[in-house]
Chain A
Amino acid sequence: MAANTAAVSLTVNGKPVTAEIDPRTLLVQLLREHLRLTGTHVGCDTSQCGACVVHVNGKATKSCTVLALQLEGADVLTIEGLAAPDGPLHPMQEAFRENHGLQCGYCTPGMIMTAVDMVRRKGHDLDDHTIREQLEGNICRCTGYHNIVKAIAAGARAMRGSSATSKAAE
């Protein structure tokens, strides 16, 4: 294992991280297996399901589709870093809870990270059609999306002017 490794340094959830990794390590593997940030999930092999979405330098990124070594110096935000552990939930997290936008919870972190990025790109007033089209890269098998769409619309509105969210949404 040690025969062929490389070092990568990046920031994850505001903390500097340096890891010695097999060069083929994907970002999601770095997060889950090296940093034990298991909120980011793997649901497919083909970059289709979006369970692995995190933010890289502020943009939603499928962490199963990027090598960790590509991220030297990058700023990565995962579901665990979206809100302070002891503080209030991020408005998008709160909206998913309030609108029953999750059932088994497996796709949920990716959905929430995608939703926050959607607000960054599309603003706070999101209609159903926009949300549904923007969710093309996230699959949920439980909810039929009905309540996810509701949650994202509500979360987007709640993020307007929320200081807690500006960091994640910027």
Chain B
Amino acid sequence: MSVTGIGAAVRRKEDRRFITGKGHYTDDINRPGQTFACFIRSPHAHAKIKNIDVSAASRLPGVAGIFTGAQFAEDKLGSLICGWTVLSKDGSPMKMAPHPALAAGKANCVGDAVAVVLAETLAQAKDAAERVVVDYEPLPAVVDPAKAAAAGAPLIHDVAPNNTIYNWHLGDAEATNAALKNARHVTTLEFINNRLVPNAMEPRAALAEYDAASGSLTLWNATQNPHVARLVISAFVGVAPENKLRVIAPDVGGGFGSKIFIYPEEVVCLWAARKLGRPVKWTAERSESFITDAHGRDHVTKAQMAFDGDGRITALKVHTTANLGAYMSTFSSAVPTFLYATLLSGQYEIPHIYCEVDAVYTNTVPVDAYRGAGRPEATFVVERLVEVGARELGVDPATLRQKNFVKTFPYQTSVASLYDAGDYQASLQKALELHDYKGFARRKRDSERNGKLRGIGFATYIEACGVAPSALVGQLGAGVGLWESAEVRVNPTGSVEVLTGCHQHGQGHETTFAQLVADRLGLSIDQVNILHGDTDIVQFGMGTYGSRSGAVGMSAIVRALDKVEAKAKKIAAHLLEAAEGDIVFKDGKFTVAGTDKSAAWGEVALGAYVAHKFPTSEIEPGLKESAFYDPTNFTFPAGCHICEVEIDPETGDTQVVGWTAVDDFGTVINPMIVEGQVHGGVAQGVGQALLEHTVYDDKGQLVTGSYMDYAMPRADNLPSLQVDTTVTKCPTNPLGIKGCGEAGAIAAPAAVMNAITNALGTELIDMPATPATVWATLQKTHTLPRAA
């Protein structure tokens, strides 16, 4: 391993600009003559829009234009779409309602944009927005997903009777029911997977500019996938043809899924920029982020796990109601189905699984993928059931897991996933040792002497990453393929630009991708630049989400490097006057095998461009190759997280006092960055379990609409984390990478709740386990210990 090669904890190339304040986020960009947009948003969860009076507002100073949903409709622009078709049990397609970028006729959630004001300054736009009079007729709203399909619930979209989007299922109902009937023991749990607000620290932003001379539009946008944004905005909304729309995603301050989706605001900015003939800029305020960024999770689930007399899991049956909010966001349909039910086998051999999912509309913000996307929900189901099952059976939870682990690979689950490689016993064993599991009883006694309750919980999770084989996801309803692209562009002096279809918003691609290329070509990482995030510069790519950039994006780079090396060898053969088959490329040098004749990388690069010494009728000048890599399977990162909590029974305050994570991500390119991904994921998962809760009142008002009410994890809510890895390489991609971005958020909620319920001695507590909730639970169930 070289000092910057694969496996080295290289310090990040991108950091210098961020630590000196030279990052370049969308809101940092300004265009001459720009106007500022302020959206008028529905204050009602469900209301008819009877009239919008803009006359007073239009006369205010600085106002450049005011546009309403009615005008948007007049311009015959298309609807925002959900790009993944899910079929109900009866074969009928999901009920996708229209989603205009500006609502006309009816608003369907608080925050639904009904008009937009453009003005010379943001303050003037806000002043004018105050004077726009919207005449609403409020309608009854439905908020609770468990009540959305009930008789008499207010109907949100005519296309979706009973507010039902689909009734989907996976697995063998009959066999699962039979196994449950014949089980020695059945563990049953009902729970809510709480709704979360993603809260990337950079609020979403868009800046649109129209160039009348060329008839083209440019959009700077805080997005995780600029090409997909361009495709949807051109092909479905129809703001501009694809070749007349440039989408630039500059530095993006976190995404966690929430910046995958195509939102109304960027569409409206583009549309308004053309109407006004001036650039239009919009940056969300945090309160706007809370009511417009797609939320995550929000499942209501009942699940049963069957065990035989030997402690083996014989079946799992799950029913989930998934709240998709007021409109179907870009990938919303896939999250509670193909990203959820296909992971319900966990790390275990479960012969029979059956899962039903009812997806419903409610008068709330749309719900879509948020870090983990379906897999945290699946892991929560499986890992809570296994832990509770162990308690009910009187078996050590680690032992029960070991007994049921998948041990031979490949393993075909009963929910379609084909696990390719893993060693679940190895990660569990390593975690048990690192955590000093044996010492838990002693630590618990120590806590009790101090009047505290102590608990320990596991999550041995699995996830499916590396999205995804295109033909497979096509069969499952995806509207796109999920390959990735790369272009490796060698300069005449030998330095390299890599154009990737992935997008980084914190993951450190500029470093890890450069490590891969530098290692392969024998360069320093400073000689390798990674370019991404601009549809005019980079070839079409699918963007970054689902822990796919390593497994899919870097695989594409490997394929392009293979082609570069093959061509460079041909050119080296001519330069060295040797047979191509005799050329060996190693450590940045082309050598004629068995001789001391060699040419350095830079000589061959220059040779390729001057093209003096090879027949250009056979070999084209230049050295630039591209590749589109389509994975053949998902990847299956897995691992074991152990959480230890201490609870003050007087107050319900719960402290995470120990965390051990042992993950198998396959090949690790940069362990420093990978550990950082685990830290961040765990923090989001702990946030879900202990702090974060999105609360709507029964009228559909978002009660937790700012950082004053929505408890973001802060430094003093979290412990230091012990993070380690085991490695089984992914056999289906060239580097053996599985992906690491979501693991922490997938494992953590179940681990925390298993620890809390272990401490409390009751399973009857939902996330988030706030001090108030824990305290109330204790009052109902517990005989409090006394301080010694």
Determine if A96 and B715 form an interchain contact, defined as CB atoms under 8 angstroms apart.
Answer: no
Q: How far is the CB of B562 from chain A (nearest CB, A)?
A: 31
Determine if A104 and B254 form an interchain contact, defined as CB atoms under 8 angstroms apart.
Answer: yes
Residues from chain B with Cβ under 8 Å of A42 in the complex: 27, 203, 283
Determine if B22 and A103 form an interchain contact, defined as CB atoms under 8 angstroms apart.
Answer: no
Determine if A106 and B715 form an interchain contact, defined as CB atoms under 8 angstroms apart.
Answer: no
The answer, among B252, B286, B721, for a CB contact under 8 Å with A146, is B721
A75 within 8 A of B: no
Determine if A45 and B715 form an interchain contact, defined as CB atoms under 8 angstroms apart.
Answer: no
A38, A41, A44, A93 — most chain B CB neighbours (10 Å): A44
Query: In the complex, A46→B17 CA distance in Å?
Result: 27
The answer, among B62, B200, B201, B715, for a CB contact under 8 Å with A136, is B715
Closest chain B residue to A135, Cβ basis = B715
Q: How far is the CB of B557 from chain A (nearest CB, A)?
A: 21
Q: How far is the CB of B457 from chain A (nearest CB, A)?
A: 18
Determine if A106 and B716 form an interchain contact, defined as CB atoms under 8 angstroms apart.
Answer: no
The answer to whether A141 and B19 touch (CB under 8 A), given A44-B706, A135-B716, is no
Q: How far is the CB of A91 from chain B (nearest CB, A)?
A: 11
Query: In the complex, A147→B254 CA distance in Å?
Result: 17
Residues from chain A with Cβ under 8 Å of B25 in the complex: 38, 41, 106
Determine if B18 and A102 form an interchain contact, defined as CB atoms under 8 angstroms apart.
Answer: yes
Closest chain A residue to B681, Cβ basis = A144
Query: In the complex, A5→B18 CA distance in Å?
Result: 33
The answer, among B123, B253, B507, B672, for a CB contact under 8 Å with A106, is B253
Closest chain A residue to B716, Cβ basis = A132
The proximity string for A residues 111-151 relative to B, scoring 1 for CB distances below 8 Å and 0 otherwise, is: 01000000000000000100111011011111111111100
Residues from chain A with Cβ under 8 Å of B684 in the complex: 141, 144
Query: In the complex, A51→B202 CA distance in Å?
Result: 9
Determine if A43 and B203 form an interchain contact, defined as CB atoms under 8 angstroms apart.
Answer: yes
Determine if B201 and A131 form an interchain contact, defined as CB atoms under 8 angstroms apart.
Answer: no
Determine if B19 and A46 form an interchain contact, defined as CB atoms under 8 angstroms apart.
Answer: no
Residues from chain B with Cβ under 8 Å of A102 in the complex: 15, 18-19
The answer, among B285, B505, B706, B708, for a CB contact under 8 Å with A104, is B505
Residues from chain A with Cβ under 8 Å of B285 in the complex: 45
Q: How far is the CB of B161 from chain A (nearest CB, A)?
A: 39
Residues from chain B with Cβ under 8 Å of A138 in the complex: 714-715
Residues from chain B with Cβ under 8 Å of A112 in the complex: 19
A15 within 8 A of B: no
Query: In the complex, A79→B124 CA distance in Å?
Result: 29
B474 within 8 A of A: no
Q: How far is the CB of B119 from chain A (nearest CB, A)?
A: 10
- Number of residue pairs A-B, CB distance < 8 angstroms: 188
Residues from chain A with Cβ under 8 Å of B522 in the complex: none
Query: In the complex, A113→B337 CA distance in Å?
Result: 44
The answer, among B16, B199, B716, for a CB contact under 8 Å with A97, is B16
Closest chain A residue to B707, Cβ basis = A48
Closest chain B residue to A93, Cβ basis = B19
Residues from chain B with Cβ under 8 Å of A100 in the complex: 11-12, 672-673, 675-676
A30 within 8 A of B: no
Q: In B4-33, which residues have CB < 8 Å from any A CB?
A: 11-12, 14-25, 27-28, 30
Determine if A143 and B676 form an interchain contact, defined as CB atoms under 8 angstroms apart.
Answer: yes
> Interface size on B (CB < 8 Å)?
63
Q: How far is the CB of A27 from chain B (nearest CB, A)?
A: 15
Closest chain B residue to A3, Cβ basis = B61
Residues from chain B with Cβ under 8 Å of A22 in the complex: 121, 123
Q: How far is the CB of A32 from chain B (nearest CB, A)?
A: 8
B397 within 8 A of A: no
Query: In the complex, A24→B199 CA distance in Å?
Result: 27
Determine if A141 and B254 form an interchain contact, defined as CB atoms under 8 angstroms apart.
Answer: yes
Closest chain B residue to A80, Cβ basis = B21
Determine if A45 and B286 form an interchain contact, defined as CB atoms under 8 angstroms apart.
Answer: yes
> Interface size on A (CB < 8 Å)?
57
The answer to whether A107 and B682 touch (CB under 8 A), given A1-B120, A45-B286, is no
Query: In the complex, A38→B714 CA distance in Å?
Result: 25
Q: How far is the CB of B15 from chain A (nearest CB, A)?
A: 4
A73 within 8 A of B: no
Query: In the complex, A103→B28 CA distance in Å?
Result: 18
The answer to whether A78 and B506 touch (CB under 8 A), given A1-B61, A135-B716, is no
Residues from chain A with Cβ under 8 Å of B15 in the complex: 96-97, 102, 105
Q: In A75-110, which residues have CB < 8 Å from any B CB?
A: 78-80, 82-83, 89, 93, 96-98, 100, 102-109
Determine if B20 and A89 form an interchain contact, defined as CB atoms under 8 angstroms apart.
Answer: yes
Residues from chain A with Cβ under 8 Å of B17 in the complex: 105
A49 within 8 A of B: yes
B251 within 8 A of A: yes
Query: In the complex, A49→B286 CA distance in Å?
Result: 10
Query: In the complex, A89→B21 CA distance in Å?
Result: 12
B92 within 8 A of A: no
The answer, among A3, A105, A135, A143, for a CB contact under 8 Å with B714, is A135
Query: In the complex, A97→B683 CA distance in Å?
Result: 20
The answer, among B124, B252, B286, for a CB contact under 8 Å with A44, is B286
Determine if A142 and B254 form an interchain contact, defined as CB atoms under 8 angstroms apart.
Answer: yes
The answer to whether A139 and B22 touch (CB under 8 A), given A1-B61, A104-B506, is no
Determine if B62 and A1 form an interchain contact, defined as CB atoms under 8 angstroms apart.
Answer: yes
B287 within 8 A of A: yes
Determine if A144 and B201 form an interchain contact, defined as CB atoms under 8 angstroms apart.
Answer: no
Query: In the complex, A107→B715 CA distance in Å?
Result: 13
Determine if B254 and A103 form an interchain contact, defined as CB atoms under 8 angstroms apart.
Answer: yes
Determine if A104 and B720 form an interchain contact, defined as CB atoms under 8 angstroms apart.
Answer: no
Q: How far is the CB of B681 from chain A (nearest CB, A)?
A: 8
Determine if B19 and A51 form an interchain contact, defined as CB atoms under 8 angstroms apart.
Answer: no
B15, B713, B744 — most chain A CB neighbours (10 Å): B15
The answer to whether A142 and B21 touch (CB under 8 A), given A46-B706, A103-B254, A107-B201, is no
Query: In the complex, A149→B715 CA distance in Å?
Result: 8
B256 within 8 A of A: yes
A63 within 8 A of B: no
The 7 closest A-B pairs by CB, nearest first: A39-B21, A105-B18, A106-B253, A144-B683, A104-B506, A144-B679, A48-B707
A38-B27, A100-B12 are known contacts; what are 10 more A-B pairs with Cβ within 8 Å?
A: A46-B706, A97-B12, A100-B673, A103-B507, A104-B254, A139-B714, A141-B199, A146-B721, A147-B679, A149-B720
- What are 10 A-B contacts defined by CB distance under 8 Å? A39-B23, A43-B202, A45-B285, A80-B21, A97-B11, A100-B12, A104-B254, A133-B716, A146-B676, A146-B721
User: Which chain B residues have a beta carbon within 8 Å of chain A's beta carbons?
Assistant: 11-12, 14-25, 27-28, 30, 61-62, 120-121, 123-124, 199-203, 251-254, 256, 283, 285-287, 505-508, 672-673, 675-676, 679-684, 706-708, 712-716, 718, 720-721, 744
